[in-house]
Chains A and B, each alone.
Chain A
Amino acid sequence: MNLTLRIWRQRNAHEKGELVSYEARDVSPDMSFLEMLDVLNEGLVEQGQAPVAFDHDCREGICGTCALVIDGVPHGPLRANTTCQLHMRSFEDGDTITIEPFRAKAFPVVRDLCVDRSSFDRVQQAGGFISVSTGGAPDANAIPVGKAEAETAFDAAACIGCGACVAACPNASAMLFVAAKVGHLAHLPQGQPERDRRVLKMVSAMDQEGFGNCRNYLECEAVCPKSISVRFIAEMNRDWRRAAMRRGDAPEQRADG
């Protein structure tokens, strides 16, 4: 199949970017989307042109590195999918496909389709952990965890940190991501001692990074490659309010709460 690609080109964070059109010829429907871009790049290199920069690594849908907005939708047209697991059989011969980076104030463009998602790391550094040092952990079976509760924790822990939720949100909110991280540990007995502190710190870090607030558009859930449910956002809001009350802070003190 033959395609027209409109790809966002931007040399670095400081220069302005633009959509540039390319023709992709003889694309096999069995190619993955990223393999289609590999072939395009191969051709660009042969012509001495700068290849399109895009982030990718495992190419099996788990590392969370690949991050393209395809025809306006993060990770493209399939539900519960990552860009690397999208295949060209999802497109028709003659299609024009627009490819852009994940856009958000907290995800500045590094080059072309690569963005800087270190804001996600910083939110997790603020409290996304259980403070247990190596050694001295009790026997793994000492604390039973009910299967249903463990499964719920897992549903949240399945988040691959790609940032599609942010890219899909009109407010560039990171609520689904942060809620997944908070929810994972909040559903486990090991996460209880720091539960209040964790949610307060992570939400505060999220705000500081410049992510917008949640207005229940639910676009995040629709594009999440791991189908993380927005119920975790509701749970996080509840956890946050309770934690703030316990600390004697009125919830209203959060600027945009």
Chain B
Amino acid sequence: MNLESKVPGGPVQQKWDRHRFEMKLVNPANKRKFRVIVVGTGLAGGSAAASLAELGYHVDAFCFQDSARRAHSIAAQGGINAAKNYPNDGDSVWRLFYDTVKGGDFRAREANVYRLAQVSAAIIDQCVAQGVPFAREYGGQLANRSFGGAQVSRTFYARGQTGQQLLLGCYAGLNRQIAAGRVTMHPRSEMLDLVLVDGVARGIVTRDLTSGKIASHAGDAVVLATGGYANVFYLSTNAKGCNVTATWRAYKRGAGFANPCYTQIHPTCIPQTGHHQSKLTLMSESLRNDGRVWVPSQPGDKRPPDGIPDAERDYYLERKYPSFGNLAPRDISSRAAKEACDAGRGVGPGGRGVYLDFRDSIARLGRAEIADRYGNLFEMYQRITDEDPYQVPMRIYPAPHYTMGGLWVDYNLMSTIPGLHVIGEANFSDHGANRLGASALMQGLADGYFILPYTIGHWFATARLAPVTTEHAEFRRAEDEAAARTARLLAIGGSRSPDSFHRELGALMWDRAGMARNAKGLQDVVARLPALREQFWTDVRVVGGGEELNAQLEHAGRVADFLEFAELLARDALDRDESCGGHFREEHQTPDGEAVRDDSRYCHVSVWEHGGDGAAPVRHKEPLSFENVPLATRSYK
């Protein structure tokens, strides 16, 4: 497997400029001759599809939702980072770069991260020009806030729905190109396979989710912008439809899968209430700016929160991390919550919760100010839990939220399969082992607006692609395989729903491969999954047919892929015998529970190559070097 990163030489500040100059260009008159397939219409896919069409390429865009505007980026609440330094508080491209490399626990590629920080400012300009209604000050200037452990205020936001507003911006750009005839939009379409011709990605096979029709689409490049795999845990903050199928199918066709064990568990979600739970709801991390996290000092303290005097409360984040306090990064805050609950000090039903208390902020700032800052979040909390957070502290618990791992890509965002580009959460490149708050939106839009439109041109200008149509035998073969798989799922006629298998998988993964992992638990996952897959393929029951809208069938296909993918996640977690960022191995911690990295053995990207069905995957390494941000132990104390 060729893992040449293609990072250009020279100082990190000059790499992207140099690369942009060195890349070949496509003549404007020739651009319309190239067809690009973009799968996924979230921030990465939507911005890429619109920007590529603006350049003159023809784009076929696909999403499984009924409208491009519903992709899961829409649910992002908190904000988007950019090194604008509008508040004059010392931010810079270098600082954003530094914070992101460090925040990722030194497991990201420096050159990619620097580029991300470099283009971040242009994203905000672009979004404002599109009409994104960011929060503003009275003077008409953009407002900023500090977010998710940053010591500068570099986060731009739009009430609690920054994701929706940014997505509507690129959706509007996409609509403009659809109207101009340069984007053909395919909603309610699910990618079932990637098609390679002579080793090059040349198209996809999709299922029309309304009619059930399986069809092929050919192009000169394929772009996957299909998001992350947090739903491998069943309960997560992801939308119900989020799945690993597109990236997993690409992996099985030869794309390297990088760092699948890097999963982010978000510290502030509403705890589970019962077995019927279908998803977990995130409460924006911005709440930690004014809320204080605590648990009772004594295990088993069942008094109501207002009956527990201050002296008997443990504000554990403030105690353990005095300089960052309640704003400690996500991985650290999540583990601290788990630790408190494991020690029997958790609150609420089942004891899996900690308090996020606004009492002191309300006393300091007044209820009106808190309502102004967080009113919609408080309402959402009350609607779900039937408790009033102005009166009673919120109860929160960590939940799977984002996945830093993904398909391996080089500096051009191209995977190990020539022609297959991967952007946004679906790739692995920028966040290392832990993503900082408000950086996902930044990365998705950086990839889609400002990076891929350059690098894909270089691919077209240098690849010398022969014309290919969907009549090619490889398309026929992939279509037949997809149809056969659908038929097989429908024919099993077992006794259990796809959902029940998904729940079982999720419970196993959360227990053994969630917030804290150890070798024994991970070995157990690897050992148990083949039997669970076997059971799925003999006992799943999918009612209905293939040639109609059939949500069970869609779900069954996704669960089948999660059942395979989960094993790769566990193998990677087992293989990475260190703790770093969101990957916490219990064997590697300091006496006070902090993660211990092992840079001598694991300062690399683990890239997995499919070994064939039934065979073990092969692990390759891309070594990481840190020339600008010296390797150091993260400390937020």
Show the binding face of A for B, using Cβ within 8 Å.
11-12, 28, 30-32, 34-36, 38-39, 41-42, 44-46, 48-51, 53, 55-65, 78, 81, 85, 87, 89, 110-111, 114, 116-118, 120-121, 124-135, 137-141, 143-147, 150, 153-154, 157-158, 160-161, 184-185, 188, 190-191
Q: How far is the CB of A12 from chain B (nearest CB, A)?
A: 7
A124 to B175, CA, bound (A): 7
In the complex, whether B309 has a CB less than 8 A from a CB of chain A is no
In the complex, whether B129 has a CB less than 8 A from a CB of chain A is yes
Q: Report B-chain residues with C-beta under 8 Å of the C-beta of A89.
A: 386
The reply to whether A53 and B75 contact each other, CB–CB distance below 8 Å, is no
> Contact partner of A63 among B74, B210, B497, CB < 8 A?
B74
Residue of B whose beta carbon sits closest to that of A158: B161
> Contact partner of B282 among A60, A153, A190, CB < 8 A?
A60
Q: Report B-chain residues with C-beta under 8 Å of the C-beta of A139.
A: 125
Interface residues of B in 366-392 (CB under 8 A from A): 380, 383-384, 386
Q: Report B-chain residues with C-beta under 8 Å of the C-beta of A128.
A: 172, 175
A41 to B500, CA, bound (A): 12
A150 to B65, CA, bound (A): 30
The reply to whether A140 and B67 contact each other, CB–CB distance below 8 Å, is no
A141 to B179, CA, bound (A): 30
A158 to B130, CA, bound (A): 15
Q: Tell me the count of chain B residues lying within 8 A, CB to CB, of chain A.
A: 81
Q: Report B-chain residues with C-beta under 8 Å of the C-beta of A50.
A: 543-544
A139 to B129, CA, bound (A): 9
The reply to whether B133 and A157 contact each other, CB–CB distance below 8 Å, is yes
- Interface-central residue, A49, A81, A146, A191, by most chain B CB under 10 Å: A146
A137 to B82, CA, bound (A): 15
Residue of B whose beta carbon sits closest to that of A29: B386
Q: Report A-chain residues with C-beta under 8 Å of the C-beta of B210.
A: 110, 116
The reply to whether A140 and B450 contact each other, CB–CB distance below 8 Å, is no
- Interface-central residue, B139, B163, B187, B543, by most chain A CB under 10 Å: B543
A196 to B549, CA, bound (A): 40
A131 to B47, CA, bound (A): 14
> Contact partner of B137 among A48, A63, A147, A153, CB < 8 A?
A147
Counting residue pairs across A and B whose Cβ atoms lie within 8 Å, the total is: 220
Residue of B whose beta carbon sits closest to that of A156: B133
Show the binding face of B for A, using Cβ within 8 Å.
47, 50-51, 54, 65-70, 72, 74-75, 84, 86, 122, 124-131, 133-142, 158-159, 161, 163-165, 168, 171-173, 175-176, 178-179, 185, 187, 210, 237, 239-241, 273-274, 276-279, 281-282, 380, 383-384, 386, 449-450, 453, 495, 497, 499-500, 541, 543-544, 548-549, 551-552
The reply to whether A134 and B449 contact each other, CB–CB distance below 8 Å, is yes
Residue of A whose beta carbon sits closest to that of B493: A48
Main secondary structure of the interface of A (DSSP, over half): loop
The reply to whether B161 and A62 contact each other, CB–CB distance below 8 Å, is yes
If A38-B278, A60-B380 are given as contacts, then 14 extra A-B residue pairs at C-beta distance below 8 Å, sorted by A number, are: A30-B274, A48-B541, A60-B282, A62-B164, A121-B69, A121-B175, A127-B179, A129-B173, A135-B450, A140-B125, A140-B134, A141-B86, A144-B141, A147-B137
Q: Report A-chain residues with C-beta under 8 Å of the C-beta of B75.
A: 58, 60, 62-63
Question: Can you report 17 A-B residue pairs in the complex whose CB atoms are below 8 A from each other?
Answer: A28-B273, A36-B276, A44-B543, A50-B544, A56-B240, A57-B239, A58-B70, A63-B70, A63-B75, A118-B66, A125-B176, A134-B453, A135-B122, A140-B84, A140-B128, A147-B140, A150-B135
> Contact partner of B239 among A11, A59, A143, A154, CB < 8 A?
A59
Q: Report B-chain residues with C-beta under 8 Å of the C-beta of A118.
A: 66-67, 187
Residue of B whose beta carbon sits closest to that of A154: B133
A30 to B278, CA, bound (A): 12
> Contact partner of A64 among B50, B70, B273, B499, CB < 8 A?
B70
A172 to B21, CA, bound (A): 54
The reply to whether A48 and B141 contact each other, CB–CB distance below 8 Å, is no
> Contact partner of B142 among A78, A135, A141, CB < 8 A?
A141
Residue of A whose beta carbon sits closest to that of B185: A121
Q: Report B-chain residues with C-beta under 8 Å of the C-beta of A124.
A: 171-172, 175
Q: Report B-chain residues with C-beta under 8 Å of the C-beta of A51.
A: 543-544, 551-552
A129 to B183, CA, bound (A): 15
The reply to whether A117 and B380 contact each other, CB–CB distance below 8 Å, is no
Residue of B whose beta carbon sits closest to that of A54: B551
The reply to whether B130 and A31 contact each other, CB–CB distance below 8 Å, is no
- Interface-central residue, A50, A55, A121, by most chain B CB under 10 Å: A121
